[in-house]
Structure 1
Amino acid sequence: MMKSAITVSLVEEARGGPFVFWDGLADAFEQAAKLGFDAVEVFAPGPDAVSVDELRSLSEQTGLRVAAVGTGAGMVKHGLSLTDPDVSKRKAAREFVRSMIDFGGPVGAPAIIGSMQGRWGGDLSLAGALDYLAEALEELAPLAAEYDVPLIYEPLNRYETNLIKTVDEGLTFLNRLQTGNVKLLADLFHMNIEESDVAAAIRRGGDAIGHVHFVDSNRQAAGLGHTDFAPIIAALRGIGYDGYLCAEAFPIPDSQTAAQKTIDSLKTLLA
């Protein structure tokens, strides 16, 4: 059975970005619990921003799980990329992701590789960048497996990366890896830009899909854009997806309204 989740950002440098809650972790857990969400996805500036004990305590107090943890602060705050031509910077990027795996793993939350995948260009070819990315995921995915969680890789739209933009490209990339512990993140906003048929792409993704960012065409809460969610939910049911549908949405017109609209849409769609 699919479960609901909502995002909270603790990264001041990302303010204005597509995260619903911004007023601290405790507030996010409290608000999400009141609205009936199942989990919270945490975008933190680093592993030291919140202790694992605090994360576990908030989870136990509210009955909510931690759906996933983002690693994008590695890029936003520190300019780190897993495909940086500089070997020392690639190493620092892997260490940052490793630290986030160790942050989320103890509470059963996988780490998401999104913006930290970087880009190719200049002296770095697409093939070279994909080699660096594959090398990083081969190293990091087994670390996630130690916590019995996958490593989540997110294809992004053309304006945010020039590496892997579609589910099919993601599947091709996963097939080259030796590790089987990397899953794809199906972000409906990115897919709205890059996929000709979102539901069909999800069906092709099948059990390679390990997480879903549930958001409308304009990256606002579900119901505030033009996405037809019914065939998407049908496709997710068809592949047996039982993970989280997580609102990575702009807090428009405000956090509370975006959260309420999301949970109302989910209740209707999953009824």
Structure 2
Amino acid sequence: MKYGIHFGYWTQEWDTDIKPLIPKAANLGFDVLEVGPFPGLMEQDQQEMNEVKRIAADHNIELTYCLGLSPDLDLTSPDDTTRIKGIRYIQQLIESVYQMGGSQLSGILYSDWPAMYKEVKTMDDKKNALVRAEESLEVVLETAVFYGIHCSLELVNRFEQWLMNSVDEGVAFQESLNHSNCSLLLDTFHMNIEEDDIPAAIRRAGQNIGHFHVCENNRKVPRPGSRLDWPSILQALKDIDYSGRIVFEPFVKPEGTIGKDIRIWRDLSGQANEEQIDQQLKEGLHYLKSTFSH
């Protein structure tokens, strides 16, 4: 089992230099730093990529990659040009992840995020969009197979996306793709909104789970005695023999592009400074590790 932290915990912008965050993650006890398309990655700037790789190797940190697509890259768009642009973007990202020595790409890879609900959506709209997503992902996943990259499709709540919100929807879609290098990314924040019973949903998803995000129901760092039943959630992961990565994905600071997209409108850290924020994370990691080991 590896434990990771999403880089957005420490920054308010998606487009940020991740190099200083690698030793920080390692010093706090993490095995993985999850990042987005950091500056230089999509451009395949070899000097920048090699420097990031070197720092990660020096600190024994694995880099995983996670993102959502902008509307002009939407794989469900009725517009062929938009879908083709989205397919090519993810294919280029897969190639870049490969060049970085990575193996895991996750997120809302099938549509735009966060979705902007500018018009009424019908169930026929949803059905047709899912067909377009499936057709687009078939192309993307062939590229991922070629480069040895595993893709995990993230299920998010109804306020951020409309195609797949529940585990049952995700399993049905993922199995229709029939690709061994494709799985689901489940996230406790979204599951708290969409699932009647989080542990039961984890058990239903079973081996379809390839990646797992954790944070509290309000995006804070996991902690004992909170609204989410962490012992039961972790027991469900043990019951399905989950041995992948558990990545912390708390967001506690407002402002910036991250605050806007995640909808953080107040400071959730208790006005903590950088040292205190790190301590909250360290305590959360210790809590989940010790709970999972029992």
TM (norm. structure 1) is 0.86
Shift of 1:246: 0.5
Over 3 Å counting, the alpha-carbon distance change for 1:122 and 1:250 in structure 2 is closer
Structure 1: runs of 5+ lacking an equivalent: none
The answer to whether the 8 A contact 1:71-1:100 is kept is no
Aligned residues: 260
Q: Which secondary structure state, in structure 2, belongs to the residue aligned with residue 71 of structure 1?
A: strand
Most deviating of 203-212 and 89-98: 89-98
Structure 2: runs of 5+ lacking an equivalent: 253-267
Bigger CA radius of gyration: 2
What is the 5 A alignment of 1:1-271?
2-9=1-8, 15=13, 24-44=17-37, 47-48=42-43, 51-66=48-63, 68-72=64-68, 74-75=69-70, 79-106=72-99, 107-114=101-108, 117-118=111-112, 125-223=125-223, 225-251=226-252, 252-253=268-269, 254=272, 255-271=277-293
Over 3 Å counting, the alpha-carbon distance change for 1:71 and 1:159 in structure 2 is same
Shift of 1:265: 2.2
Shift of 1:129: 0.3
Distance in 1 between residues matched to 2:210 and 2:21, nearest whole Å: 23
Distance in 1 between residues matched to 2:185 and 2:66, nearest whole Å: 12
Shift of 1:216: 1.1
Distance in 1 between residues matched to 2:219 and 2:72, nearest whole Å: 24
Distance in 2 between residues matched to 1:193 and 1:90, nearest whole Å: 29
TM (norm. structure 2) is 0.80
Q: State the percentage of identical aligned residues.
A: 29
Over 3 Å counting, the alpha-carbon distance change for 1:146 and 1:268 in structure 2 is same
Question: Which AA in structure 2 matches 1:215?
Answer: C
Q: What CA RMSD, in Å, does the superposition of the two structures yield over aligned residues?
A: 2.7
Question: Which AA in structure 1 matches 2:180?
Answer: G
Question: Which AA in structure 2 matches 1:48?
Answer: E
